[in-house]
Structure 1
């Protein structure tokens, strides 16, 4: 009985040992397969990095921001001209010593920028650069109202300045038998165009009246020009046009040089006239 009992226990122990080994073998296989997948997943990026190029020294690349306008922000900033835009520079005085004028145009001489800033604060003034080429640079203290007034004046002068390009031409046509009243009206219109710096092309048609003098049309041209002394001159002298049925000329405004020469000539002639009159008076006194 004892031998049978011992053999039964031994068989049970062997069975339990085999069952335990089988369980461990199965579980190890599952764990091994799971760990294999995990290691493959983790190793794949490392394996890919084996084929990556070796890292080199870093390089700095300068890039520009993309813009549909094709201009960078710095290029869009308005460029200020020294002494022409009347911009208040505030406290940003780059030069240590500057030449200063006050708001009335009085010369304050050379001053240290710290003294200029102190003067600006005391008198509530702005600082404007007048001449950057001077040594030291020239600045002027102005009030806000003075800066505004000078800006308006510069804008009006810019509008009044002649625009570059060919001078526009106005055209006017009338008959040589025109009445005096109508001729005066035409002449005033021509003078207004000349004062606005236009060229004026005048065409005068010959009258069908055979008794009309041949030089009448030239006389009309000369009369129109003589009524505008110091303003206009011939750009193209009278010449036949339209197959000889008319006479055409072009008047233009005088240039600055021609205007100055005309004024000098007029002044000289007036001086000569006064001298002659004074000489005649002295002569008459002597005779008397």
Structure 2
């Protein structure tokens, strides 16, 4: 019995020592194993700068496009003449007739001139010899004409309201303001409120006619005066004359002046004949 007890105790001691040795060996092996290097922090990437265009509106883009087209349409073509025979004008506008492109190049070199295309659709196409200064002046003229051209866009409407018992001085001041708006091609909506002590409705018509007469050959009614707000006010819209209306107005005035002059001349002739008869 004692021997069995000693044998069991010896086996338990051996098993415990083996477990301890195994644990210690595993821990030692873990410590001895080379550790993996810690991941290095990635270097910050430089910011990528994207070039951006300057701010511009659609009108600016259209204006720039028109300017480039004008300059491209009127610029020196150099010595690259695609046509074999062309019609040539000199720097003063004189007609040099049809010339071979080789002769044109020799003339350009002799006079130190540039060649500009005038009419590519003609047969033969028309070119002109110009100096560098003439080309620059023509570009400036085309650019100024392009800026002066009216731009298509929404029509601006200005509004003006006043009473029918307005004084003459104030009416003249407002008429000048309306004239400035009309010259800028604005539409002007005028509303005249009926005063409490107004005697006749013709007073409002006189006001509108007075304003319109201050701008002869410049403005006309876009919508004629009409009552609004239950008859408490009258409104109308003035606009600038169109090009066709301006031409018609000028022709009418010239014809009227001519008719008056003829009448005066006829009256003078009659008086002259009467005096001769007497």
1:158 to 146, 155, 158: 146
The Cα of 1:97 is off from its aligned counterpart by 0.9
1:238 to 1:201, Cα distance in 2 relative to 1, 3 A? same
The Cα of 1:166 is off from its aligned counterpart by 3.6
Quick one: distance in 1 between partners of 2:88 and 2:154?
43
1:222 to 201, 209, 212: 209
TM-score by length of 2: 0.71
Which position in structure 2 is the counterpart of 1:284? 271
Quick one: distance in 2 between partners of 1:85 and 1:184?
49
The Cα offsets for residues 131-187 of structure 1, whole Å up to 9 and x where unpaired, read as 111000011112222222221222222222122244221212222222212211211
Which position in structure 1 is the counterpart of 2:107? 119
The Cα of 1:243 is off from its aligned counterpart by 3.5
CA contact (8 A) 1:82 1:130 kept: no
Which position in structure 2 is the counterpart of 1:268? 255
CA contact (8 A) 1:83 1:128 kept: no
Quick one: distance in 2 between partners of 1:175 and 1:281?
49
Query: Does 1:107 find its partner at 2:95?
Result: yes
Structure 1 unpaired stretches of 5+: 1-68, 70-77
Quick one: distance in 1 between partners of 2:136 and 2:71?
15
Structure 2 unpaired stretches of 5+: 1-51, 53-64
Q: Which stretches of structure 1, 4 residues or longer, exceed 4 Å deviation after superposition?
A: 78-84
1:81 to 1:138, Cα distance in 2 relative to 1, 3 A? farther
TM-score by length of 1: 0.68
- Partner of 1:265, secondary structure, is helix
1:148 to 136, 144, 148: 136
The Cα offsets for residues 230-277 of structure 1, whole Å up to 9 and x where unpaired, read as 111100000112332221100111111111111111111111111111
